Amino acid sequence: MTAFKGRKVCAIGEAMVEMAPVEGGLYRRGFAGDTFNTAWHMAQWLGPAAEVGMVTRIGRDSLSDAFAAEMAADGLGLSGVFRDETRRMGLYLIQLDGVERSFHYWRETSAARHLADDESALRAALAGASLIHLSGITLAILSPEARERLFGLLAEARATGAVVSFDPNIRPRLWTSAAALRDTIARMLTLTDIGLPSFDDEAAHWGDTSPAATIERFRQAGVAEVVVKDGAGPVTCLIAGRAETFDTPPVTGIRDTTGAGDAFNAGYLAARLTGLPPQAALRAGQALSAVVLRHNGARATASAMADLPRLV
């Protein structure tokens, strides 16, 4: 079973300005991004029991300053937040159809696309990490050369005892080709200890016929611990070499499905980091996902997080 050498968490990826719909056709400005959502929820749930930070790149404008200030106020580490003199944060807008969401993005010149340009800075940011979390979006926004740089540093970190978790979170439009998508993610699986895929992505891009097929493909790539999310359907896990399936409790009062998978990742990883077994961790992931589903936007409120029972 996956073991952690400590409780320092580094999430690598892109944080963006989020415009989330509220009443009256208005929008609320916030900050979000798949790995940032996971890191933020982990930091709120774990509190001082863990050191949670984000490895990303932002600008030197007022919105980037506001993001950094919010991170610090919410207890996230800033040592891995690099500043860019010429680029700014990307932006996305959520469009809802009922509770289901679609997105409009402005990210082509995002500073986060260069988060892996400086190898020495990135190595320093990852030093001492017990858990490193990233996603397919993290890989997709990087240049091929930057991906290779990141792969090398992940291998170094694993050699010193870091656990790497990975959510493929596939966004085809971010990739230059379907082949590049598949080849890069297949490479990433060889560096992954905990896999957190969503079955719809795996079925669409690898032709998996069932969550069990996804489990087997990840296992063959060397991933020891796998949790396959399937929306409101059951969760399928690879635990100690055996596949198990767990029902997902129904959720009432859903307002927005944005960020539900990121929140599941946060609950699962936070619970595992504190020593809970995978079975209990997936229940924590489901509980946190349910909280986010009842909120607009990708993150829960701080008060809703405070109402959750502490993991430690």
| 14 vs 141: CA distance, rounded Å | 8
Q: In what order do the strands lie in the sheet with 91-97?
A: 27-32, 16-21, 91-97, 100-106
Cα angle value 136/155/129 (rounded, 5°) = 85
Query: What count of other Cβ atoms lies within 10 Å of the Cβ of residue 195?
Result: 25
d(CA 161, CA 164): 10
CA 105 to chain centre: 18
Torsion sign across C-alpha atoms 203, 206, 209, 210: negative
Q: Which helix (H) or strand (E) holds 106?
A: strand 100-106
Tell me if residue 262 is catalytic: yes
The type of residue at 90 is G
Q: Which of 263, 284, 261, 286 is nearest to 273 (CA)?
A: 284
- Active-site pick, 65, 230, 262, 307: 262
| Catalytic positions | 262
